[in-house]
Structure 1
Amino acid sequence: MTPPDPINGGDGTAADYDCRLFPAAYDRRYVDGTNILASDKQLYIGSIGIGVSPKVGDLAIGADGTEYHIVHDDPNNYDGVTNIVHIVQGRVA
């Protein structure tokens, strides 16, 4: 989503960004039925070329067309500045 207009405000505009996404199942020991559901996936999203950080509330669509709502985000940056990979919790929409 693009940010709202800095002068007039309002809502941001929805925007699509191509990215590399790898969905992986959570280890069963982390599935508690409340915070992490059995159907949730860990989505590894490469940061190269997308120019934005996935945020809670965003929608990620896998290559097979599966839609995931992002319910938790965790950008991984090892130098404190540059995001390398975003590991997010995706819930099937």
Structure 2
Amino acid sequence: MAAFDYARSRATADRLIARFGQAGAVRRSGAPSGDPWNPTPGPATDHPCTLVVLDYEAREIDGTLIRATDRKVLVAAGGLAVEPSAADRIVIAGTALEIVRVSPLAPGGTIVMYEIQARG
């Protein structure tokens, strides 16, 4: 039996997100400099990505872990220079939102896309 082709699934996900999504960015803070007791934040770097913004369904919102104003963001893995983390921010239509949680969809070890919980 042949192994499943996850690279093809990733290409399909990238294509669909590009078709129905929008341009965005993963904003990563720069390394701090200066004195350890009074560091100066380094300049942030935006890494372009393609994303789709969705609302959470009412049954998913519990008011604590997922709030009514949170957004589910699907980010294409293809062409993304960095792996998003909760330390980053996601830029959607010029607005930087906090990343609460990042869940890579990675069956078989191949990252197909990222699901991000974003909070404004």
2:94 paired with 1:65? yes
Q: Which amino acid aligns with 2:74?
A: Y
Structure 2 SS opposite 1:29: helix
Q: Which has the higher contact order (CA 8 A, sep 6+)?
A: 2
Counterparts of 1:6-85 in structure 2, within 5 Å, are 14-62=44-92, 64-80=93-109, 82-85=110-113
Please say which structure displays the higher CA radius of gyration.
2
Higher normalized helix content (fraction of residues) = 2
TM-score by length of 1: 0.78
Alignment coverage as a number of residue pairs? 85
Distance 1:50 1:90, change over 3 A: same
Q: Percent identity?
A: 31
Contact 1:77 1:84 (8 Å CA) reproduced: yes
Q: Distance in 2 between matches of 1:59 and 1:2?
A: 9
1:57 is displaced (CA, Å) by 2.5
Q: Distance in 2 between matches of 1:26 and 1:18?
A: 24
1:21 is displaced (CA, Å) by 1.1
User: Structure 2 stretches of 5 or more lacking a match?
Assistant: 1-27, 32-38
TM-score by length of 2: 0.62
Distance 1:72 1:16, change over 3 A: same
1:67 is displaced (CA, Å) by 2.3
Contact 1:53 1:75 (8 Å CA) reproduced: no
Structure 1 SS opposite 2:114: strand
1:2 is displaced (CA, Å) by 7.7
Equivalent in the alignment of 1:87 = 115
User: Structure 1 stretches of 5 or more lacking a match?
Assistant: 5-9
